[in-house]
Structure 1
C-alpha cells in the first residue's frame, strides 16, 4: 500500500513514526520521574527535564487536563491593556486563519503572563482547543498547566516546542505546542508569546520554525507602531514648543517611557521640583503602569504638569509640561470635560438637574447600572442620553473597560456591518489590506453604546441579537468566530414600538433590548432645571472662549423659560454659547437670543412657507422633505440648528438631505424669495 504514497507523504509518515517512537520513550521517562524512580535522561531533552523539575517544585497537579480559565470580565480589560500587541498581531493572525485552515492546528497570542488574548486557526482545532483552554482567557504559565509551549517559553525566555509526552500534566499530553517569545522593540522585554498548537498526531517538527517567523513578523509590526507613535509624540511636543517656547517638554509614550525631551527639560524639571534627578534619556520609564510618575525618579511632580494625549478616546501617551514661570499654569478644569478618559464623564453626578423627572430617571439608571444586561435609553434628541449611557458604564462591572460610542445613523448601510463587526483582509473592494477590527472588538471588556439604534438596518438586526445571546461575532468576509464580552447600551429618539409595528425593527430584538429601559425626559418637562443648566454651562462655555460668564436680563430669562426647547439640553447649551459671544459688557439681552426665542416664534410650529417659483416648496418628498426645507430656512443653512429644530441628529439630517438631493439654504436666496434683491438689507 505504501507504493501508492507520494514522496512527501512518505517523508511525513516517517517523521510521525520517529516522533511516536520517541514519544513512547519520553512517556516512560516521565513515569519514572513522577514516581521518583531513577530517570533515564537519554530520550528527554534537558530543557524538558528542567521544566519538569520546576513543575515538581511548584507542586503542579499532574492530573490537570486543562489550563485555568480567566474570568471573562477581567479578560476584556486585559485585552484592552494589550491592545498594541493585538493590533500588531492582527495581520499575522488574519493570515494564519487562512494558512492554518485544514491543518487541524491553531495559533494563539498571549500576554506576558501566558494568558491567551486571541486565537485563530482551523475551525476543528479551535473548538478542540477550547476543551483544554487553548482559547481566550486560558492561563498557560508552567505553575498552572505544567510544561507547555507557552509557559516554558516564558520560563526560559526562548522559543521551545513541547511534544505530546513531554508535557508535565497528563491531561495535556494529547497535544503538541511550539511557543516563541514576542519582544518589546524598545527595551527587549517579553510582552507575549506566539504559540502554534495541534493534536499530537497532527503536529509537525516545522511548527517551531513557523512560530519563530510569525513572532518576528509581529515584532516588526510593533517596531513600526512604536516608531509612528513616537514620531507623533515628538510632533506634539514640537507643536507645543512653538506655542510655548519657555516651557520644558517631555513627551511620554503609552508605556510611560520618554519619547522626546526638549533641551531645557532636564534642568528646568530639577529646578521646579527642587530635587536632584538622575540623567533622563529617551526610552527611560518615567511613569508607572497606572500613569503615575515614578517617585524614585521624579518625586513631588505636580499633577497638572502631566497632560494626557488622546487618540480615538484612548490615552496614547502624556506630555509633561514644565512651566517657565515658578507658578504652574493649571489646565482649566472645564477643558478636561471633553476628555474621553475623564472619569467625571462617567458619573451620575455629571447629570445636572433637580426636577422630579430627571431625578427619577437617574434613580432608575443607578438601579440597573450594575446589572449585566443591555439597556435601552429613550428620549428626544438633545436630552442627554449619552450622559446617562456613560454614567451607567461608570457604575457597571465593566467600568474599567472601554466605552465605545457608535452612531448607527452616521454611516452608510453598506459600511455599517464592517464598522460594527470589522472585516477580514480583502473582504471588499477598497478594504484595508490587513483587515480591521470593528466596534464590538474595540469595546471588548467594556461597553458599546449604539446611538440611533432605530437606524440599524433590518438585515443586521439578527446579528446584533446573536451577539447579545451568544457573545460571538464574525468579521465581514471571515468565518472565524470571535468571542467578545461587551455590554450593550442602545439609544433612540424613535418610538421603537411603532418601528416594530411598521416592520422596520425586529420584535425579538426590541424585547431583548427593552427589558431594562429608561426614558430621559425632555427639557420642557423638567421644571426648575433650566436655571441649573444655564448656571452649569455659563462658566464652562465662557472659559472655552476666554471670556467671563454673562448675566441674562430678566426679559431674556422670561423668554428662555417660555420656549419649548425642541432641541432640549443641547439646544440650550448652544443658546448659552450664543449669549456669551454676543453679550455686551457681560449682559445678554433679547438681541443675544435666537429669533425664534426672542420673538416667541416656536420653530417647530411654523407653517411651511411657500415662495413663488421655489421648487423646494412643492414637497416632492412629502412631509419629511417639507419639514427639512422649513427647518433649513429658519436656521439660515446651519445644519446643527436645523437638526435641533427637527429633533434629529446632525448626521441623520445630513443623510436625509443627501437622500432628497437637498442643499444648504443660502441666506441670499431667502431674501430673493421674499422679493428683495440680494444686495439689500
Structure 2
C-alpha cells in the first residue's frame, strides 16, 4: 500500500532530474572513464567561474590538474569531505564518488558544497569568543591592580620612577611628614595613598583636604571643626573637622601652596603640639595623625617671596618626593597608554585591535603638558571614539593635532614633523616592517596591516618604499 502511494506521488511529481540538479546548492561535476566532463551544473559554474560550454566534453585535467575525481578514477574508491579553496575567499568541501554498474567503473561524480558563509560565521563566532575572553582577562587584571591603593598601582617603566617609588616605600614605614612635589596631573595623590597603604596607619582613615577648593573663611572650620553655636549657620551639635575624622590615620593636604598665611601658622602649631582648638572651643583636642602634603608650586621660592612660612615648610618637608613630568620620562608613556587602553576597553566593553601608526607616533612624541591625567583622558576618548576596534589619528583631540601642525615651531624642530609628514613616516615604517616580517609577501603584509592589498600597492608606490631584502 505504501509503495503504491509512493509510486502515485512520484507520477504526479514529474520533474526532470536535471532540473533538480540545476537548482540545488551544491556544485555537481560528472566525468566519464576518459576524464571528460559530461555534466557541469549551475552551482559549479558559480563556484569556479567556468561556464558549461567551456568545460563540457573537455578533459578535466585542463581545468583541475589535481582534481579529487582523478584519484577516484584510478582507485575506484570514494574520497569524501575534503576541504578546498578554489578561489581567494571561497571554501568548498568536496566529495568524489565512483559511478559503477555491475562492478564496472563508468565515471566519477563530484559534489562540491560551498561552506564559505559557514566558515565566516564560525570565524566571527570564535573571534567574539576570543574578545570576551580577552575582556574578562583584562577586567581581572584591572581588578587586581585596584584592590588596594598601593605602590603596585603606579604604572611606570623608567629608572627615575623606580628610584622614587623605592624612596616612597621606605618613607611609608615611618611616621615622618612627606612633601610631594610635581606638576598637575603627575599622580601626587596616588603616591600619597600608596604611602598611607604602606604604613602602619593603613587600617585607619585617609582624609583628603583640597586646600585650593575650600574658601579661606571656611578652611579653619573644615580642618579643626567647630563647637555648637560657634558662628551663624553652625550646626547645633557642632561638627568635627578633618583632623579629628582622621584620628589614627593620615591627612593629605593637597595643594598646600594655596593655604593662606594665617592658616599656615595654625597648621604649624598642630604639627608641633599634636593638638588644636575647634572654632569657638576652649579645650585643646589631641590628635594622632600623619601629614602628607602636595603641591605643584615651588614652595622654596614662595618662602623667599614671603608667601609661605619657612618654619612650616621645613616641618612639612621632612622627606621630599619630586615626581618628574611625563615629558622627562618618555619611556613611561607606552606602558601608561597600554594600561589605560586595557582599563577603558573593559569599562566601555570594547576591544582595541589596532592603532593607526600616525596616532601612535603622535601619542609617543607629544610632550603631555597635562601629564598622566591628560594622557589618561585622551586614551579614554580614543577608546570611546574607536570604530571596529581601530584607533585613528583623526580621533585624537584637536590640541594634539594642532601641536604637530604648528609649522612655526622652533624648539624640537628636528624631533617633530608636520602632521602629514608624521603620518607618511609612520606608515612607511609600518609597511616596511610588515614586508620584512612576511618575506615580501604583499598579501600577508596587507592582512597584517589591516588594509586592502590595493591600498598597500598604492602606498608602496606613493611613499617610494623599497621592498626589504632581509
Where on the TM-score scale, by shorter chain, does this alignment land: which range?
0.5 to 0.7
In the alignment, does 2:268 pair up with 1:470?
Answer: no
Q: Deviations over 1:307-340 (max 9, x none)?
A: xxxxxxxxxxxxxxxxxxxxxx9995588689xx
Match of 1:363 in 2: 166
Q: 2:252 corresponds to which residue?
A: 449
Q: What do residues 196-222 of structure 1 show as CA deviations (whole Å, max 9, x unaligned)?
A: xxxxxxxxxxxxxxxxxxxxxxxxxxx
- For the residues of structure 2 that align with 1:501 and 1:558, how far apart are their CA atoms? 42
Report Cα offsets for 1:646-675 as digits up to 9, x if no partner. xxxxxxxxxxxxxxxxxxxxxxxxxxxxxx
Q: State the secondary structure of the residue aligned to 2:226.
A: coil
Task: Determine the structure 1 residue equivalent to 2:148.
Answer: 344
What displacement does 1:403 show? 0.9
Matched, 1:525 2:328: yes
Aligned-partner Cα distance in 2 for 1:593–1:330? 27
Check 1:410–1:553 CA distance in 2 against 1; reply closer, same or farther (3 A cut).
Answer: same
Cα offsets for 1:547-581 (capped at 9, x unmatched) = 22463211101111111111000100000011011
Query: Where does the alignment leave 5 or more consecutive residues of structure 1 unmatched?
Result: 1-328, 607-681
* 428-437 vs 517-526, greater mean Cα deviation: 428-437
Choose the corresponding residue for 1:555, options 341, 358, 364.
Answer: 358
Using the alignment, how far apart are the partners of 1:391 and 1:461 within structure 2? 26
Q: Distance in 1 between matches of 2:235 and 2:137?
A: 42
1:488 aligned to which of 291, 306, 309: 291
Q: Hey, what's the Cα distance between the residues in 1 that align with 2:316 and 2:270?
A: 12
**SS at 2:176's partner residue?**
coil
User: Which has the bigger relative contact order, CA under 8 A and spacing at least 6?
Assistant: 2
Counterpart CA distance in 2 for 1:540 and 1:379 is 25
Deviation (angstroms), 1:535: 1.0
Q: Give the corresponding residue for 1:283.
A: none
Q: Tell me the CA shift for residue 525 of structure 1.
A: 0.9
C-alpha contact (below 8 Å) 1:563/1:602 kept by paired residues:
no
Does the residue aligned with 1:488 lie in a helix, a strand or coil?
strand
The alignment status of 1:353 with 2:353, answered yes or no, reads: no
**Counterpart of 2:379 in 1: which secondary structure?**
helix
- Residues 484-543 of structure 1: per-residue CA shift (max 9 Å, x gap): 110000000000011111111100000111121110111111131111001111121122
- 2:57 alignment counterpart: none
Aligned to 1:398: 201
* Cα distance, 1:600–1:370 mapped onto 2, change above 3 Å: same
Deviations 1:77-123 (A, max 9, x none): xxxxxxxxxxxxxxxxxxxxxxxxxxxxxxxxxxxxxxxxxxxxxxx
**Paired residues of 2:243 and 2:289 also in contact (CA < 8 A):** yes
Q: Scaled by the length of structure 1, what TM-score is found?
A: 0.38
3-state DSSP class of the match of 1:547? coil
Q: Deviations over 1:205-254 (max 9, x none)?
A: xxxxxxxxxxxxxxxxxxxxxxxxxxxxxxxxxxxxxxxxxxxxxxxxxx
1:353 and 1:362 map into 2 onto residues whose CA distance is 10
| Preserved CA contact (<8 Å) 2:184 2:370 | yes
Runs of 4+ deviating beyond 3 Å: 329-338
Match of 2:389 in 1: 586
**1:3 match:** none
**Are positions 1:414 and 2:217 aligned together?**
yes
| Partner Cα separation in structure 2 for residue 521 and residue 567 of structure 1 | 12
1:547–1:362 distance in 2 versus 1, CA, 3 Å: same
Q: Quote the residue 1:375 is aligned against.
A: 178
Contact 2:352 2:390 in 1 (8 A): no
Distance (whole Å) between structure 2 residues aligned to residue 464 and residue 382 of structure 1: 26
Count of aligned positions: 273
The verdict on how the C-alpha distance between 1:402 and 1:545 changes in structure 2, with shifts beyond 3 A counting, is same
Tell me, yes or no, if the aligned pair for 1:595 and 1:601 is still in contact at 8 Å.
no
Judged with a 3 Å threshold, the aligned counterparts in structure 2 of structure 1 residues 483 and 364 are, in CA distance, closer, same or farther, namely same
Alpha-carbon distance change, 505 to 390 in structure 1, aligned in 2, over 3 angstroms? same
Counterparts in 2 of 1:526 and 1:434: CA distance versus 1, 3 Å = same
Question: Is the radius of gyration larger for structure 1 or structure 2?
Answer: 2
CA distance in 2: counterparts of 1:560 and 1:331, whole angstroms: 22
Deviation (angstroms), 1:598: 2.3
| Contact 1:357/1:525 (8 A) holds in 2 | no
Say if 2:155 and 2:335, in contact at 8 Å, map to a contact too: yes
Per the normalisation by structure 2, the TM-score is 0.55
Of 384, 399, 405 in structure 2, the residue corresponding to residue 596 of structure 1 is: 399
Q: Please state whether the residue corresponding to 1:399 is helix, strand or coil.
A: coil
Q: 2:428 matched to which residue of 1?
A: none
* Residue ranges of structure 2 left out of the alignment (5+ in a row): 1-135, 410-470
Q: Distance in 2 between matches of 1:395 and 1:602?
A: 45
**In the aligned structure 2, how far is the partner of 1:574 from the partner of 1:513?**
31
Query: Partners in 2 of 1:549 and 1:477 — Cα distance?
Result: 58
How do 1:183-194 and structure 2 match up within 5 A? none
Secondary structure, aligned partner of 2:208: strand
Cα deviation per residue 1:281-316 (whole Å; 9 max; x = unaligned)?
xxxxxxxxxxxxxxxxxxxxxxxxxxxxxxxxxxxx
Change (3 A) 1:356 1:331: closer
Mapped to 2, the partners of 1:549 and 1:436 lie a distance apart of 49
Say whether the 8 Å CA contact 2:180–2:323 is kept in structure 1.
yes
